[in-house]
Amino acid sequence: MSYARQMLDSYPHNAGLDADVLAATIDALTDCAQACTADVDADLSEQDLAEMVRCIRLCLNCADVCTATAVIVSRQAEYDAAVARPQLEACVAICKSCGDECERHARHHRHCRVCAEACRRCEQACRDLLDVMK
């Protein structure tokens, strides 16, 4: 069980969000942030560096947005949908753009394939949380 899940189970109370969906989203966000950070580092080591600039730029932004979104949704005890929703929507946008770009390089660079998958899962997880957040 992830720490995100263990922490949710140990709260004095929660704001009524489904703990399974919330924990899965937090885990997908931290996974995606880590994958994007590592993908930038791997891209910078590639021979075809000039081809990877757009991927690097998107992964940098995706890592930062996912990290911020992860802490926003982790603070769930009194969460405010007026704040959490737009941040999740911003995260969906960057995960979509970054996943698309990583996929373009997935055949040549295995790290981009792994990162694309992390972006796709994160995008979906954010959408799932938005669905239950109404």
For a second copy, the binding residues (CB under 8 A) are 2-4, 6-8, 10-13, 26, 30-35, 37-42, 44-46, 49-50, 53-54, 56-58, 60-61, 63-65, 67-68, 70-72, 74-78, 80, 82-83, 86-87, 89-90, 93-94, 97, 109-111, 113-115, 118
Contact 20, 39 (CB under 8 A): no
Quick one: 98 or 128, whose CB is closer to a second copy?
98
Residue with Cβ nearer a second copy (42 or 128): 42
Shortest separation between residue 47's beta carbon and a second copy, angstroms: 8
E-state strands within 1-134: none
d(CA 96, CA 32): 12
| C-alpha span between 101 and 85 (Å, rounded) | 25
The two tokens of residue 14 are: 């929660």
Residue closer to a second copy (CB basis): 62 or 128: 62
Residues 88, 123 contacting (CB under 8 angstroms) = no
Q: Which phi and psi angles does 23 have, rounded to 5°?
A: -65, -40
- Rounded to a whole number of angstroms, the minimum distance from the CB of residue 119 to a second copy is 11
Rounded least distance, CB 37 to a second copy, Å: 5
How far is CA 31 from each of CA 11, 40, 66, 118, 119, rounded to the nearest angstrom?
Answer: 23, 14, 9, 7, 9
Q: How far is the CB of 132 from a second copy (least distance, A)?
A: 19
Nearer CB in complex with a second copy: 43/128: 43
